[in-house]
Amino acid sequence: MEILDIKAHMKKYKITYANLAEMTGINLTTIKRIFCGKTQTPHLETMVAIEQALGFINTNSQYTVPMGDGMTADERELLRLYRNLSPDMRSTLWSLLDTWSPSTTNKNKV
């Protein structure tokens, strides 16, 4: 994905460089250098971390998956956190949600 596309996505969803640094664990200065063009060829791992944090890469797949429009930064962060859960933790989370609000959970959980 091109830096300009990532910048447009960040602007659309009001994600700051500081937010992105927090989401990825990448140093804020490094993030700024990448996006202002001072770092012309960032490490692949760095770009993958950025794209994963923004939801462009499904962390459970080797394929790039666009997240679509309409997701807030909080929703993307929740999805990122969910994808990093083990199957047992996902099951526990769904059980908790079922007890909290049974009418809002989906019985066909993934």
What per-residue confidence (pLDDT) applies to 102? 58
| CA dihedral sign of residues 72, 74, 75, 77 | positive
What per-residue confidence (pLDDT) applies to 65? 41
pTM beyond 0.95, yes or no: no
Residue labelled with tokens 């993958």: 48
Each of the 110 residues of the chain gets a pLDDT tens digit; together they read 789 999 999 999 899 999 999 999 999 999 999 999 999 999 988 998 899 889 887 665 544 444 444 566 777 788 888 888 899 998 999 888 888 865 654 555 55
The Cα–Cα gap between 106 and 86 comes to 19
- CB of 10 within 8 A of CB of 54? yes
